[in-house]
């Protein structure tokens, strides 16, 4: 008779053999091989298409700022379609719309049509004669007409204000916005004050959003640590970081008792504001005042005091919803010489040697902290940090969900320009020393040499004939994971255990 025991089977690239039983059932092999999902940083259109239902979109289109943002983000051909049928009070045949473009632009027209349909901007309807026609959403049409012609309720932040006795210039707002946003990034890499005693520490709301977005996770041993998606988040540009962060915040609006359409409308009103100008918060609801305080904590607006009736939108708020930074030219003009030098250093400041030494020409605490995620820091000077890639430092990053490819990609992205001029870098795709790249990948493979499969162990067979019979049956239905005829032991997949068990009972009765 065979003895069965549930457990897990570990398969190694070096050796093969069954493991002992485990009290906890591990995930199946497909889950282990797949690993954690990559970061999905969706733009505004993708956010509306994938996260909002048609009913919710109709509610959002009641707010003109949201409709203006949707219109601005559409392809150029889609915007032309809207303008041409905006003041037409009856459906327009699809054949007529298709005739507006040349045949060579058929692909672009199809993409524009699909975009407008997925966003519920227009819908298919029938006209007399059975022809298919396009009809703009009445709610969207009404709001866009208000944007172009005026009318409707005024935006709350348009109230007039007396001249500010202590006005804030653009340079101050830029510095304030980045200092507040860097607090979030510093917290993610472990340089922020997580005890909440520092005045610059991030709020509990920001921590909850980081956990909700899976940018950080709670670990029983290390507390709150960065995840694989969090590391990918650090590699994004600032505008993409802020938008992804705000998108995760919007997902939690209902839990906070705040209206999602009102939050989106407020966010887009800020994106259409003027940098360096102050706006009034009088007339805002309690929900929007709470939302404004959250934006203040994240650096999207500046307000001296919580109860002050004026605030200044920062560059983060103006650029958050646009695909391209609308004020990029202004940013370059107002950038000082030292900031320009720092920006050049950000593009390439890391030197990696064949002895695994890493030299980073930077004094940014954030950049140093990111390097500390996968290197062992040795020395730190005013404008230079020296570290080394070790097995332990890389394995610690791998345990946190960071992959070898991400580490290599980060080092390549911020490699010093002189590294790209080396002969070996010119002849290869990577500017990093091949030995370093290979070793990082080998350290990852070392961790991944074991894969686990849920299974059931069969052993203690009374005869070799019984073992061979059951083994051959398990192999015939393709559920056999491992077998050893000498010890009369085999492992079958958990999902095949019931079939093998039934066959064994049937075989035992016929043999008896």
Within-domain flag for 88:
yes
40 within some domain? no
Q: Are residues 466 and 442 in the same domain?
A: no
Q: Are residues 210 and 261 in the same domain?
A: yes
- Asked if residue 327 is part of any domain, the answer here is no
In a domain, 44, yes or no: no
User: How many C-beta atoms lie closer than 10 Å to residue 430's C-beta?
Assistant: 17
Same domain (yes/no): 192, 234: yes
| End-of-domain residue from the set 282, 317, 352 | 317
CATH of the domain at 59: 1.10.10
pLDDT for 22: 31
Are residues 18 and 62 located together in one domain of the fold?
no
Instruction: Identify whether 73 is part of a domain.
Output: yes
The whole-number pLDDT of residue 310 equals 87
Per-residue pLDDT tens for 272-306?
Answer: 888 888 888 887 888 888 899 899 988 999 988 87
Of 33-47, 85-99, 101-115, 197-211, the least confident = 33-47
Tell me: do 313 and 206 sit in the same domain. Answer: yes
Q: Beta-carbon neighbour count of residue 318 at 10 Å?
A: 22
**What confidence tens digit (pLDDT) does each residue in 389-430 have?**
999 999 988 877 778 888 898 898 888 888 877 766 666 778
pLDDT for 339: 47
d(CA 303, CA 280): 11
Same domain as 247, residue 191: yes
One domain for residues 351 and 424 = yes
For residue 146, being part of any structural domain is answered with: yes
User: Could you please report the per-residue DSSP string of 116-161?
Assistant: HHHTTSEEEEEETTTEEEEEE-HHHHHHHHHHHH--SPPPGGG---
Report in angstroms the alpha-carbon separations of 13 from 438, 439, 447, 491: 18, 18, 11, 18
- Tell whether 350 and 436 lie within a shared domain: yes
- On whether both 261 and 358 belong to a single domain, the answer is no
- Report the pLDDT value the prediction gives residue 20, as an integer from 0 to 100: 35
Q: Pick the range with the lowest mean pLDDT from 1-5, 33-37, 172-176.
A: 33-37
At 31, is the pLDDT very low, low, confident or very high (cuts 50, 70, 90)? very low
User: Tokens standing for 124?
Assistant: 């298919």
Alpha carbon distance 318, 297 (integer Å): 16
Check which CATH number belongs to the domain holding 28 and give it.
Answer: 3.30.70.2610
User: DSSP 3-state assignment of 28?
Assistant: coil
**192 compared with 267, residue with greater pLDDT:** 267
The most confident of the ranges 4-8, 46-50, 354-358 is: 354-358
pLDDT surpassing 60 at residue 27: no
Same domain, 175 and 312: yes
pLDDT in tens, 315-335: 999 887 665 543 443 343 333
What is the average pLDDT across 433-457? 85
* Domain range for 131: 52-153
CB 226 within 8 A of CB 373: yes
Quick one: 265 and 352 in the same domain?
no
Residue with token string 């920062």: 314
Give the rounded percent of residues in the chain with a pLDDT score beyond 70: 82
Q: Maximum CA pair distance of the chain?
A: 100
Give the total number of structural domains in the chain: 4
**Is residue 41 in a domain?**
no
Q: Which of 214, 222, 226 is nearest to 188 (CA)?
A: 226
Both 76 and 137 in a single domain?
A: yes
Residue range 216-243: mean pLDDT, rounded = 80
């Amino acid at each position: 008779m065979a003895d069965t025991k549930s457990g897990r089977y570990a398969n190694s690239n070096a050796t093969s053999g069954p493991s002992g039983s485990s009290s906890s059932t591990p995930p199946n092999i497909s889950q282990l091989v797949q690993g954690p999902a990559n970061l999905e940083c969706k733009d505004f259109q993708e956010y509306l298409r994938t996260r909002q239902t048609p009913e919710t979109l109709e509610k959002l289109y009641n707010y003109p700022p949201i409709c203006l943002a949707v219109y601005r983000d559409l392809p150029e051909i889609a915007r032309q379609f809207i303008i041409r049928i905006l003041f037409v009070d009856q459906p327009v045949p699809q054949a007529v719309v298709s005739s507006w473009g040349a045949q060579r632009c058929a692909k672009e027209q199809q993409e524009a049509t699909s975009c407008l349909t997925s966003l519920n901007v227009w819908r298919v309807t029938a006209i007399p004669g059975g022809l298919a026609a396009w009809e703009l959403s009445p709610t969207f049409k009404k709001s866009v007409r208000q944007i172009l012609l005026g009318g409707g309720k005024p935006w709350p932040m348009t109230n007039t204000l007396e001249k500010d006795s202590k006005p804030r210039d653009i340079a101050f707002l830029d510095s304030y916005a980045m200092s507040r946003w860097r607090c979030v990034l510093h917290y993610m890499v472990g340089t922020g004050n997580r005890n909440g005693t520092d005045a610059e520490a991030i709020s509990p709301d920001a921590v909850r959003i980081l956990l909700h977005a899976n940018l950080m996770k709670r670990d029983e041993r290390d507390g709150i640590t960065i995840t694989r998606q969090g590391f990918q988040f650090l590699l994004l540009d600032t505008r993409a970081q802020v938008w992804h962060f705000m998108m995760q915040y919007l997902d939690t609006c209902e839990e906070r008792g705040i209206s999602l359409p009102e939050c989106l409308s407020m966010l887009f009103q800020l994106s259409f504001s003027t940098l360096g100008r102050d706006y009034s918060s009088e007339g805002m609801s309690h929900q929007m005042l709470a939302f404004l305080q959250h934006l203040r904590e994240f650096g999207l607006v500046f307000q001296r005091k919580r109860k002050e009736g004026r605030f200044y939108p920062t560059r983060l708020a103006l650029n958050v919803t646009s695909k391209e930074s609308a004020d990029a030219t202004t940013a370059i003009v107002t950038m000082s010489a030292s900031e320009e030098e720092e920006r050049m250093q950000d593009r390439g400041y890391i030197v990696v040697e064949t002895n695994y030494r890493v030299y980073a020409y930077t004094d940014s605490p954030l950049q140093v902290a990111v390097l500390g995620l996968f290197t062992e820091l040795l020395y730190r000077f005013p404008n230079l940090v020296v570290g080394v890639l070790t097995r332990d430092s890389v394995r610690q990053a791998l345990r946190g969900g960071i992959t070898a490819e991400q580490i290599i990609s980060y080092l390549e992205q911020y490699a010093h320009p002189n590294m790209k001029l080396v002969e070996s870098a010119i002849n290869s795709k990577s500017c990093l020393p091949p030995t370093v790249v290979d070793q990082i990948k080998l350290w990852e493979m070392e961790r991944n040499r074991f894969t686990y499969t849920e299974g059931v162990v069969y052993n203690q067979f009374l005869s070799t004939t019984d073992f061979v019979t059951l083994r051959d049956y398990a192999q015939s239905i393709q559920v056999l994971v491992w077998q050893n005829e000498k010890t009369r032991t085999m492992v079958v997949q958990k999902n095949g255990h019931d079939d093998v068990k039934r066959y064994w009972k049937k075989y035992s009765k016929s043999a008896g």
